[in-house]
Chain A
Amino acid sequence: MSPHEAGDRRPHDKYEHALGLLARRLSTDINQAVHLDLMCGSGHMAELLSVQHGVHYVGVDVDGDRIEALTARGFEAHVADLDSSTVAASLDRILDGRPLASITLVDGLEYLGGGPRLLDAIGAMLARERAVGVVSVPNATHLDIGIKALLGEWDYVDPDVLEQSPVRLYSRPSLRAVLRTAGLTSIEEADVVVAHSDQHFPADHVALSRASSVGQWLRHLRSAAEPSGMVSHFVWTVVPVPPAAMAADSSVGTPFLSVIMRTQGRREQELREALLCLAGQTDLDFEVLVVAHRTTRDQQTAVERVLEDQPPALRARTRLMLLDHGSRSAPLNLGLREARGRYIGVFDDDDLVLGHWVEEFHKAADRDPGRVLRSSTLRQDAAVVDVRGFPGVRAVGAPTKVWSTEFSLIEHLVGNQSPSMGWIYPRSLHVHMGLAYDESMTTTEDWDVLLRAAELAGVTDIDAVTAIYHFWTERESSATLHSRDEWNANQREIERRLDSRPFLVPPGETRALRRTLVRMQDVERGMCVQDLATQQQAVNMDVERRQHEQERRRLTRRLARKNAELLTVRGQNAEMRRQLAGRDEGSNPPSASESREGQHLARGWMRRVRKIIQRQR
């Protein structure tokens, strides 16, 4: 298929979608109210709108020939420059006091340098006339375009496009923003989804392929970041709302770090300790988002009281949010959505951080912006005691190093070596890459996020101990609240996800991986040699056993034969004794030679028999 064929495949989808949206919004009591079709071109929707919805169709375009053709088809149509600064007045003149039912602007906004002006006019008209609008704009960020642009490719598939180049390109967020500035917002969306756009060529383009590793990885990256990768045209129903300014640079005036702290209000003293650690930070460039999760009224009051007790400097940078649903991940996602900091850190209500916790992260962020930052965390066993009737946390062991000081992504594939308060990550991972906590996971949600964050951002190690993870020896914790099976199931889910897509390994990690694999191979080889030796030994023993068995059988057979011979000899002896006895009684005694011969014979047999018996032994 040529690029042109691909581009011509579904030219009218956007119109069908626009008509579908209008059909759901247009009143049945239109009574020939006007429908303004702006940038109408050939008037694709003119007949359908007139016949099916009973509106009075009015086409508006800058192209006189097309307007003439539309008029020739019996429709009202006007030539107007919709890019002009007087566009609002022009549209009012065309409407001429008639009631307005709806407006469509399908594929036109991108050609107008003064597009926002037209949108302003549309917003004002819709608000005034209580009408509905449908706007359609091509998505400049379709995955095919994005991937090719990433690789330095930019292809025009339609020769006409060179003569009529778009002057503004739109993504979902930028369209949303420009609409909002004009006092419009989308209330329904029927985007045109095209898996293979007109930019999807050549067919065996490695990066565009769904089957290639890079193609899969880029698709995964895009789908996590933003859902419009397959959208060729945004088609939205818009209604008027109060205008709002487009967001300026979001980094201005924001704190360095947003600390998300989950609490259930059941550990008032531990929460007090955790917040005191934040009050004692040497670097105060942070905000705290305390998310009270599934708290009772009393528990909420307890949390509020602890927050009220904080020094003004901390209280001023702390926000309390209440959340009554969801798993352990839900409060983290709420915090993530509400966070304003450049970085995100998770510090639960029963652990401790040292005074330079924020400071060390901040210094590292200045050195290595955009990376996950990880410092060392020590584990300390702790218990709750009641001293003089009041609860207090008692350390029952020394702070101990149990987790790796240096981060290795490969090592983290096997098990989590990083308690949640020991690392922070750029909020950009959430805003631009779609990173969030999986709310279906009941444990290990932080590990899952760390793996994804570390894969995308890389990790900078900080050579400092900045946190203490409390391991509770005498009361419940997440380690005891969830069964081993549950922990294992969540780990398997993480592994399944990792295996479902290509995985980006940071520089240096392949060396570590190679080293590990070589070590394992050596171990396996060692085990192989050992196995072979064991097998050889077993074979030898088997052969020996068989040989012994054969020899035993042979000797048994021989013994049987000799026994038979012995019996024969004994019979002969007995016969001889009888004969000798007969001779004693009436015959001659055996001669000396006869007697010697008999004794010799008997001794010989006895020797043979003894030898056989010895062999058998």
Chain B
Amino acid sequence: MLREPFPGHPVSLVVQSLVKENAAEAVVRSLEALDNSAGSGKRDLMCERLSVVLGDASTEAVLDDHQLNSLRKEFLSIDEIQYVDLDEKTGTAEGHNRLANFSESDYLVTSDAEVIVDARALWRLASAFADGRVGVAEAKRLPVEHPKEYDRQTGRTSWAGMDFTMTRRDLFEQVGGFDEETFDTHGAAVDFSWLVREAGYDVVFHPGALVFLDRRLTSEGGSVPTDGAEFEAALSALLLAHKWSREDRVERGLAAYDSSSLAEHRRAAADFRDRRTGGRLVKQHDRDNAVGSFVDDVYAEHRFAL
């Protein structure tokens, strides 16, 4: 039988999610799993306090007050459920920064609103912080695992996503949270991870900490692409390359997008040039390219293509 890792002391944490046109049923199921996890952590004296902050950026509120009150009565292991109304245009980076202000816990977990968390995931992630070098710990996503490489002993990796990732609050504040000026959704997590690493901390992936996030695969095993994200993906690629001092990739990217058949790509290249000529690009980091990792079109070595 496996011996559960212990965080060292009972921890307080907040799990924050952005709700954007999600099905209410899916959000409730996610809360049920969190409540179960909180109960498990409290029984085993690993959890001091667990609160949830949901930021709703949908056109109409996904959960109404009546539902929220019912959920607060039902999920008693969650110490607090806050529901914050956000503007529809709020991006992921800005949204999480705003939600972080609604709590003061030791650790902050950015989570997808529909994630189903395994009861032990939070506490296994928290235990990784017993190593003082760890600044960010990311859970493993099922059933489609992300292909980015990580160290088989330490879990160290290039960056962590936002599906279910725990961060030390002091470090979150130290690096200024997500760069919402530069990034909307794409690129924000990579940039944040590199800021953490630049500050001298490790970003680690914990395959023993599990969450389920419903993702589909094509018949050949590829990931099902999301629509309408070409502009933001292209722009964030240029902005990341600029911010992390890879002018070579900026120029290569601009050339590629200029000649792309997709109008969104050409628009992204134009947008970047506007920012550059208007002096609206952020200060550059990592002049000696010690932190940022640009491998082909991705930001870490990948174990396999997906």
| Chain A interfacial positions (CB closer than 8 Å to B) | 268-269, 272-273, 276-277, 279-280, 282, 298-299, 301-302, 305, 309-313, 352-356, 376, 378, 385-401, 405, 463-465, 468
In the assembled complex, how far is the CB of residue B22 from the closest CB belonging to chain A, in whole angstroms? 13
In the assembled complex, how far is the CB of residue B126 from the closest CB belonging to chain A, in whole angstroms? 12
CB–CB A387/B154 < 8 A:
yes
Chain B residues lying within 8 Å of A272, measured Cβ to Cβ, are 118, 120, 210
Chain A residues lying within 8 Å of B124, measured Cβ to Cβ, are 390
A-B contact pairs, 11 of them (CB 8 A): A273-B210, A276-B118, A276-B211, A302-B2, A309-B120, A312-B32, A387-B154, A388-B127, A396-B304, A399-B217, A400-B221
> Which of these, B140, B147, B153, contacts A398 with CB under 8 Å?
B147
- For residue B245, CB closer than 8 A to chain A, the reply is no
- For residue B143, CB closer than 8 A to chain A, the reply is yes
| Chain A residue with Cβ nearest B118 | A276
CB–CB B216/A276 < 8 A:
no
CB–CB B1/A301 < 8 A:
yes
Chain A residues lying within 8 Å of B153, measured Cβ to Cβ, are 386-388
- For residue B212, CB closer than 8 A to chain A, the reply is yes
**4 shortest interchain CB distances as A-B pairs:** A392-B207, A355-B214, A280-B212, A309-B119
In the assembled complex, how far is the CB of residue B17 from the closest CB belonging to chain A, in whole angstroms? 16
How long is the Cα–Cα vector from A376 to B221 in the complex, in angstroms?
10
Given contacts A280-B214, A353-B143, is CB(A387)–CB(B32) below 8 Å? no
CB–CB B32/A388 < 8 A:
no
- For residue B206, CB closer than 8 A to chain A, the reply is yes
> Which of these, A269, A276, A352, contacts B208 with CB under 8 Å?
A269
Chain B residues lying within 8 Å of A302, measured Cβ to Cβ, are 1-2
> Which of these, B116, B128, B218, contacts A465 with CB under 8 Å?
B218
- Near A by CB (< 8 A), chain B positions 145-166 give 145, 147, 150-155
Given contacts A387-B208, A394-B152, is CB(A276)–CB(B142) below 8 Å? yes
Chain B residues lying within 8 Å of A312, measured Cβ to Cβ, are 32, 36
> Which of these, A301, A356, A395, contacts B304 with CB under 8 Å?
A395
Given contacts A279-B116, A378-B217, A465-B221, is CB(A313)–CB(B304) below 8 Å? no
Chain B residues lying within 8 Å of A301, measured Cβ to Cβ, are 1
| Chain B residue with Cβ nearest A357 | B143
Chain B residues lying within 8 Å of A395, measured Cβ to Cβ, are 145, 147, 303-304
How long is the Cα–Cα vector from A353 to B217 in the complex, in angstroms?
11
- For residue B275, CB closer than 8 A to chain A, the reply is no
Chain A residues lying within 8 Å of B152, measured Cβ to Cβ, are 385-387, 394
CB–CB B143/A376 < 8 A:
no
CB–CB B305/A398 < 8 A:
yes
Chain A residues lying within 8 Å of B33, measured Cβ to Cβ, are 279, 311
- For residue B255, CB closer than 8 A to chain A, the reply is no
Chain A residues lying within 8 Å of B305, measured Cβ to Cβ, are 398
In the assembled complex, how far is the CB of residue B203 from the closest CB belonging to chain A, in whole angstroms? 13
- For residue B215, CB closer than 8 A to chain A, the reply is yes
> Which of these, A268, A269, A355, contacts B143 with CB under 8 Å?
A355
> Which of these, A277, A353, A388, A405, contacts B206 with CB under 8 Å?
A388
Chain A residues lying within 8 Å of B211, measured Cβ to Cβ, are 276
Residue tally, chain B, CB below 8 Å to A: 49
Given contacts A279-B116, A298-B1, is CB(A352)–CB(B218) below 8 Å? no
In the assembled complex, how far is the CB of residue B207 from the closest CB belonging to chain A, in whole angstroms? 3
Given contacts A280-B116, A280-B214, is CB(A388)–CB(B306) below 8 Å? no
Interface of B is mostly: loop
- For residue B176, CB closer than 8 A to chain A, the reply is no
Chain B residues lying within 8 Å of A393, measured Cβ to Cβ, are 140, 207
CB–CB B1/A356 < 8 A:
no
- For residue B144, CB closer than 8 A to chain A, the reply is yes
Given contacts A385-B207, A392-B206, is CB(A401)–CB(B5) below 8 Å? no
How long is the Cα–Cα vector from A356 to B214 in the complex, in angstroms?
8
Of A305, A389, A398, A464, most B-chain CB atoms within 10 Å: A398
How long is the Cα–Cα vector from A438 to B151 in the complex, in angstroms?
44
CB–CB A387/B221 < 8 A:
no
Chain A residues lying within 8 Å of B70, measured Cβ to Cβ, are none
- For residue B205, CB closer than 8 A to chain A, the reply is yes
Of B116, B131, B143, most A-chain CB atoms within 10 Å: B143
Chain A residues lying within 8 Å of B127, measured Cβ to Cβ, are 388
| Chain A residue with Cβ nearest B220 | A401
Chain A residues lying within 8 Å of B267, measured Cβ to Cβ, are none
Chain A residues lying within 8 Å of B215, measured Cβ to Cβ, are 354-355
Chain A residues lying within 8 Å of B49, measured Cβ to Cβ, are none
CB–CB A352/B142 < 8 A:
yes
- For residue B82, CB closer than 8 A to chain A, the reply is no
A-B contacts besides A387-B205, A398-B304, 8 pairs, CB < 8 Å: A272-B118, A276-B118, A309-B40, A354-B217, A385-B152, A388-B5, A394-B145, A465-B221
Chain A residues lying within 8 Å of B154, measured Cβ to Cβ, are 387-388
CB–CB B2/A465 < 8 A:
no
How long is the Cα–Cα vector from A100 to B304 in the complex, in angstroms?
81
In the assembled complex, how far is the CB of residue A597 from the closest CB belonging to chain B, in whole angstroms? 97
| Chain B residue with Cβ nearest A390 | B208
Chain A residues lying within 8 Å of B219, measured Cβ to Cβ, are 376, 401, 405, 463, 465
In the assembled complex, how far is the CB of residue A240 from the closest CB belonging to chain B, in whole angstroms? 48
Q: CB-CB contacts of B108-147 with A at 8 A, as 1s and 0s?
A: 0000000010111000100110010000000010111101
- For residue B29, CB closer than 8 A to chain A, the reply is yes
| Chain B residue with Cβ nearest A299 | B1
- Near A by CB (< 8 A), chain B positions 202-249 give 204-208, 210-221
How long is the Cα–Cα vector from A464 to B219 in the complex, in angstroms?
7
How long is the Cα–Cα vector from A225 to B42 in the complex, in angstroms?
52
Given contacts A276-B142, A309-B119, is CB(A399)–CB(B221) below 8 Å? yes
Given contacts A277-B143, A392-B206, is CB(A309)–CB(B221) below 8 Å? no
| Chain B residue with Cβ nearest A376 | B219
CB–CB B36/A277 < 8 A:
no
How long is the Cα–Cα vector from A145 to B120 in the complex, in angstroms?
61
